[in-house]
Amino acid sequence: MASDTDTLPRRTVSPDLTASRPASRYEQVKHYITERIASGEWGVGSRLPSENELVETLGVSRMTVHRALRELMGEGIVTRAQGVGTFVARPAPRAEVLELRDIADDIQAGGGRHRSRVVLLETIRADGHLALAFDQRPGVKLFHSVLIHYEDDTPLQIEERFVSPHFAPDYLDQDFATTHPHRYLFQISPPHEVEHVIFAVTPEADQQALLELDGPEACLQLVRRTWVDGRVVMRGVFTYPGSRYSFGGRRQT
């Protein structure tokens, strides 16, 4: 397997691949914050600069800073105290309300026909945000995949995954049009710990195109991390049109 110092390969699978878009302003603010947390410059419990200070330092609007902090708080990276400030959060366990299921199983259980299209397979270097998600330093090598899942001929999910090469060294060599990432990773090892966070989002233009939406539409976004033997091995971002999919569950307590 190539070393971390080798040139990173990029393999485009679909001829109609949507080009990677530049990071939006609020994402840049998130990266600015998470890179400093990942490097240790801002440790657990450290107070972040105020919104006004971030606006002045980064040259962005107050609304942009507020959205970035709100999303980081939703992801459990920072915590906010009214009238006091924003602080680097201590990682905390989350209550699980969703079971791990393959989207293909959900579609077939509802009587639909499932198919998937591979948009992208590549190797990347983790920025501060991704490095923090994997409990690693920025620059670590990760595998990256993007698939679209269809029910009959209607796009139902954008599946984006970041996978540790140490856990799945042959990840990029798989034919994910027939072998789904969920099943492939589960065969290597079922996760020992799972984290789910759900957001309501407005999709970007490239996501609207992949989901074949006529325009901006409220979408559900599930962010999942999985651990095996105490190490984060996968971070997935799954985006669904709100008009086509809903989350639910039932369990005994």
Q: Class of 103-241 per CATH?
A: alpha beta
Does position 91 have pLDDT exceeding 70, yes or no? no
Average pLDDT estimate for 104-120: 84
* Res 17: pLDDT: 36
* Res 96: pLDDT: 42
Sequence-separated (6 or more) residues with CB below 8 Å from residue 16: none
The better pLDDT of the pair 20, 225 is held by 225
* Res 204: pLDDT: 87
Integer angstrom CA distances of residue 78 from 20, 30, 45, 57, 63: 27, 11, 9, 19, 17
Distance, in Å, from the CA atom of 81 to the CA atom of 253, rounded to the nearest integer, reads 32
Radius of gyration of the chain (CA): 19
* Res 1: pLDDT: 44
Does position 247 have pLDDT exceeding 70, yes or no? no
Q: According to CATH, where is 1.10.10.10 located in the chain?
A: 25-88
Average pLDDT estimate for 191-204: 87
Distance, in Å, from the CA atom of 111 to the CA atom of 156, rounded to the nearest integer, reads 14
Task: Please check whether the domain covering 25-88 is classified as CATH 3.40.50.300.
Answer: no
Q: According to CATH, where is 3.40.1410.10 located in the chain?
A: 103-241
Average pLDDT estimate for 99-127: 84
Average pLDDT estimate for 121-130: 92
The better pLDDT of the pair 102, 156 is held by 156
